[in-house]
C-alpha cells in the first residue's frame, strides 16, 4: 500500500539579497514509498536531499507537483494543504527526525520524549514507561532522565531527539541523518529502531551519510542527481 506518492515536485530558491537571483535545486522529483519500505535519498552534498525532505514535511513549499500522503482515512496533498492541515498531519501521521534537538528550557529529557505520546492521548504513566524504555534502548544514563538536556553532550542530546522522534507510531517517518556523530553502539541502536518501524509497516524516507547504516536499513536508494534542475 502506497503511503507517500511524490509527483513531479520541484524547488528553486529566490535569493532576495542577491537581486532576486533564482537558484534551481531539483525538478521532476517523483517516487512512491509503500508501507514497511525504507527509501534512502542519496547523492552529493547540495544535491537537494534535505530540500526534498523539507517539502514532504511541509516546511518548504514546492514550486510544482503533488505530495500525496495517505493518513489512513484520506489522502492529503501537502503541496496544496493549509498550514492547519499540515499540523494535523504531523500530529497523527507524519514524523520527522532531524539531527538536532530543539531544547526546551527546563523540561526534563523524559518529558520531552514522552510528550508526543501524551499529545496522542496516552496517559502519563504509560507514556513515561515507554519513554523510559526508549531512553534505555538508546543507552542514555538514567541519572540524566529527569534533567533538562540543555547541558547534555551533543551525542546525549541527539539520542533524546531520536527517542522523541521514534516513540510515536506514524505512518510516514522522515529521517535527516539520524545517526550523524553517534558512536557504534548507539548507531546500532538506531538501526534497530528503524528496522522495527519498517517491520511495523511505517513508510520511511531517509538521508544516511553513513553507507553502513544505509545498507542496513534501506530497501533502495534514489540518487537525487537524477532530479537536478536545469
Ligand X SMILES: Nc1ncnc2c1ncn2[C@@H]1O[C@H](COP(=O)(O)OP(=O)(O)OP(=O)(O)O)[C@@H](O)[C@H]1O
Angle at 159 between CA 56 and CA 43, to 5 degrees: 40
Comparison of 20 and 105: residue with beta carbon closer to ligand X = 20
Q: Which is nearer to ligand X, 51 or 161 (CB)?
A: 51
Say how many C-beta atoms besides its own lie within 10 A of residue 30's C-beta: 13
**Please, what is the minimum distance in Å from the beta carbon of residue 26 to ligand X?**
8
Minimum Å gap between C-beta 12 and ligand X is 9
- Give the nearest distance from C-beta 125 to ligand X in angstroms: 40
Number of Cβ within 10 Å of residue 152's Cβ equals 18
**CB-based contact 213:48 (threshold 8 Å):** no
Q: Minimum Å distance from CB 144 to ligand X?
A: 29
Smaller CB separation from ligand X, 48 or 95: 48
Cell 533502495 belongs to which residue?
220
Nearer to ligand X, 25 or 110 (CB): 25
**How is residue 71 written as a grid cell?**
493518513
Measured between alpha carbons, how far is 179 from 159 in angstroms, rounded to an integer?
A: 9
Cβ at position 134, least distance to ligand X in Å: 27
Buried b (16+ CB within 10 A) or exposed e, 56-94: bbbebebbebbbbbbbeeeebebbebeeeebeebeebbb
Nearer residue to ligand X within complex by CB, 23 or 147: 23
Judged by the rule CB under 6 A, the positions of this chain that interact with ligand X are: 13, 23, 25, 45-51
Amino acid at each position: 500500500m502506497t503511503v507517500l506518492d511524490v509527483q513531479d515536485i520541484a524547488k528553486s530558491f529566490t535569493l532576495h539579497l542577491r537581486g532576486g537571483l533564482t537558484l534551481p535545486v531539483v525538478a521532476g522529483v517523483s517516487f512512491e514509498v509503500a508501507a514497511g519500505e525504507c527509501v534512502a535519498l542519496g547523492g552529493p552534498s547540495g544535491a537537494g536531499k534535505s530540500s526534498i525532505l523539507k517539502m514532504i514535511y511541509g516546511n518548504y513549499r514546492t514550486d510544482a507537483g503533488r505530495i500525496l500522503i495517505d493518513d489512513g482515512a484520506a489522502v492529503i496533498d501537502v503541496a496544496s494543504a493549509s498550514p492547519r492541515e499540515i499540523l494535523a498531519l504531523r500530529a497523527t501521521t507524519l514524523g520527522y527526525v532531524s539531527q538536532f534537538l530543539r531544547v526546551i528550557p527546563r523540561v526534563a529529557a523524559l518529558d520531552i520524549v514522552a510528550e508526543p505520546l501524551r499529545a496522542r492521548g496516552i496517559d502519563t504513566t504509560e507514556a513515561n514507561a515507554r519513554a523510559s524504555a526508549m531512553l534505555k534502548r538508546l543507552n542514555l544514563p538514567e541519572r540524566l532522565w529527569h534533567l533538562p538536556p540543555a547541558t547534555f553532550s551533543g551525542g546525549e542530546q541527539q539520542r533524546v531527539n531520536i527517542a522523541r522522534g521514534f516513540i510515536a507510531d506514524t505512518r510516514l517517518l522522515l529521517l535527516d541523518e539520524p545517526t550523524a556523530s553517534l558512536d557504534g553502539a548507539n548507531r546500532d541502536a538506531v538501526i534497530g529502531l528503524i528496522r522495527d518501524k519498517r517491520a511495523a509497516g511505517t513508510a520511511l524516507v531517509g538521508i544516511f551519510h553513513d553507507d553502513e547504516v544505509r545498507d542496513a536499513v534501506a530497501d533502495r536508494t534514489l540518487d537525487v542527481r537524477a532530479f537536478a534542475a536545469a
